[in-house]
Amino acid sequence: MDLLFWMKPWQSPIRPSKPESGGNMLIFQFHHFIKPGCQELYKEAILENVRQTVQEEGVLRFEVLQDKKDPGHFCLFEVYRDEHARAFHLETEYFKKFRQTVTENDMFARKGQGDEFEALFPESANWE
């Protein structure tokens, strides 16, 4: 897979509306399968979303990868400090715009899949 974008978060004006809950870190890996002819538009939309997402205080990691053998297969790896950070992300205008762009342009070739993980290494305290 090609790494399309990853950046460690930095100080930013984008902040959750209340302090972090101190809950457990959330780790997700999603696979999106995009129709031929929609892949460039998908890349534009996801990169616009992720460039703003990594500035959120509660986002510890957000990677977007594209499969070298199947250019319609994208993998998103997302790590949030806690449930509040993820909930905040899902309510941002840029995430809603990404979701709307993908839906309105009927980009999915088939249903994607997503899984939630627990960090074994590095330990949760060492992700920031």
Q: Can you tell me the distance from the alpha carbon of 86 to that of 58, in angstroms, rounded to the nearest whole number?
A: 8
The pLDDT of residue 98 is above 50: yes
**What value does the mean pLDDT take over residues 9-32?**
61
Q: Determine the pLDDT at residue 35.
A: 98
Domain 2-10+24-73+81-116 fold is: Alpha-Beta Plaits (3.30.70)
DSSP H or E segment with residue 97: helix 93-104
Model confidence pLDDT, tens digit, residues 21-38: 445 899 999 999 999 999
Every domain of the chain and the residues it spans = 2-10+24-73+81-116
How far is 53 from 49, CA to CA, in rounded Å?
6
Q: How far apart are CA 21 and CA 122, in angstroms?
A: 21
Q: State percent of the chain over pLDDT 90.
A: 73
Task: Write 116-125 long-range contacts (CB < 8 A, 24+).
Answer: 116/26, 116/27, 116/28, 117/27, 117/28, 117/29, 118/27, 119/25, 119/27, 119/79, 124/24, 124/25
CB of 60 within 8 A of CB of 79? Answer: yes
